[in-house]
Chain A
């Protein structure tokens, strides 16, 4: 049920069609993290993928060599803010999975600092996700997940794991950190999949 709040008119009159329901446009870039910000240099940064068949690892330079793309996407946080038309630079997950075989349908993203989040594998492929290391023309700040974060713009932004260090494939869709703490297993902003 929804009803009128007496006296409330709102200011978001010229609502952008790119805003999913319940979202508000922001100009700055809010920071949300569950703990302190990890500091990882690109020298020590490693990215690995583990599957039922084994493990593969990339250094920073090896990751860049896979092929960097520029993308402009909208991002939507479960806490109701959205940023539209952000310019990002990163390596598409398609490039990584050209070198990895798995029969599993899901992955758990793991971060430096211990954060995890689960994503269906087919929602990371076909140009839907990147290992991103620049936003708005600048290297990612540590508080925004630098040196590299997962970028899955079609899902709420908690799926875009900061300080990404690897993916582990899974046969079933097990919940990650926020998913165990009340957030939706999937997280589609257009369907408002915020919470259980």
Chain B
């Protein structure tokens, strides 16, 4: 087995996503396309040859050569502050990927429920698709947004729901895109629930506060519907959510996680 080559990527667009993050679109002529939920390695090289590499989830999916990232700035970081503040349209960087074949969701090609082959519901899988529950903490929404977008783009019939925990309304990633997905016609409409932990928008029915097991129970598909669940966020968030889901009766095998940050 030989190692795949690094791809040369050119920054095609860059815009502020939230006060602490930036959306960056890369043109990568040699990119083979990627599944929804995949990630890539990104490498920067200084003039003296010093290199720094980081892994980032991909916000886009499909066969195209335009790859979208959404980078959250890590205080005191070496790579993310550069990407958020210094990288300019036209600059070139290197990426390796796509990576990850586990934390991905695949739409069906014909509008039937996606990922039916992965269902454990047996012969009834096609008739009763297992719904998909996405649960995001902060910038953990990036790969889940890719899945929700792929679901809509494929006009896939799998019921999709996103629970998104975020500090304040201005910290929402992909706010307009998510609103559009949530307003799409059935069967591709995304059921969207946002839990604000510090400050809720005017008119919100729920006071701001950290996600709890009870609120989680209200806002995710129930155990009886056998949802396939993808959780992505900071480690303490993912640990809590996954523990609550297991305690509520969701089988561990139905829950896929992606964590970032230390414990």
Contact = CB atoms under 8 A, between A and B. Distances in A.
Contacts of A80: 41, 53-55
B4 A196 contact: yes
Contacts of A113: 252
B47 to A, nearest CB: 5
Contact of A36 (B46, B87, B255): B255
B235 A10 contact: no
Contacts of B41: 80, 194
Contacts of A28: 261-263
Interface stretch (B89-97, B122-130, B139-147, B178-186): B89-97
B252 A13 contact: no
A36 B259 contact: no
Contacts of B99: 182, 195
27 contacts: A2-B45, A4-B47, A5-B45, A5-B91, A6-B88, A7-B87, A7-B88, A8-B44, A8-B46, A8-B52, A12-B52, A22-B51, A24-B78, A29-B263, A30-B259, A30-B263, A34-B103, A35-B255, A36-B255, A143-B239, A178-B102, A181-B100, A181-B102, A182-B100, A182-B101, A185-B1, A196-B4
Given A36-B245, A181-B101, A31 B1 contact: no
B52 A24 contact: yes
A26 interface: yes
A30 B235 contact: yes
A139 interface: no
> Chain B contact residues: over half helix, strand or loop, or mixed?
mixed
Interface residues of B, number: 49
A15 B239 CA distance: 32
Nearest to B1: A196
A5 B3 CA distance: 22
Interface range for A: 35 or more
B263 A10 contact: no
B257 interface: yes
B262 A3 contact: no
Given A5-B92, A5-B93, A31 B235 contact: yes
A144 interface: yes
Given A32-B259, A35-B256, A12 B78 contact: yes
B8 A30 contact: no
Interface in A174-196: 177-178, 180-182, 184-185, 192, 194-196
A114 interface: yes
A21 B51 CA distance: 9
A172 interface: no
Given A4-B45, A80-B55, A181-B102, A33 B246 contact: no
Given A1-B6, A30-B263, A15 B50 contact: yes
Contacts of B252: 35-36, 38, 113-114
Nearest to A193: B3
Given A10-B78, A31-B262, 16 more contacts: A1-B8, A5-B91, A6-B92, A12-B50, A22-B51, A28-B263, A30-B261, A31-B235, A35-B255, A35-B257, A36-B243, A36-B257, A143-B263, A177-B102, A182-B101, A195-B3
Contacts of A114: 252-253
A165 to B, nearest CB: 15
B46 A10 contact: yes
Contacts of A32: 259
B44 A10 contact: yes
B49 to A, nearest CB: 8
B92 A143 contact: no
Interface in A32-71: 32-38
B74 to A, nearest CB: 11
A3 B92 contact: yes
B45 A11 contact: no
A74 interface: no
B239 A8 contact: no
B92 A37 contact: no
Interface string B4-47: 10101000000000000000000000000000000001011111
A79 interface: yes
B258 to A, nearest CB: 8
A7 B93 CA distance: 11
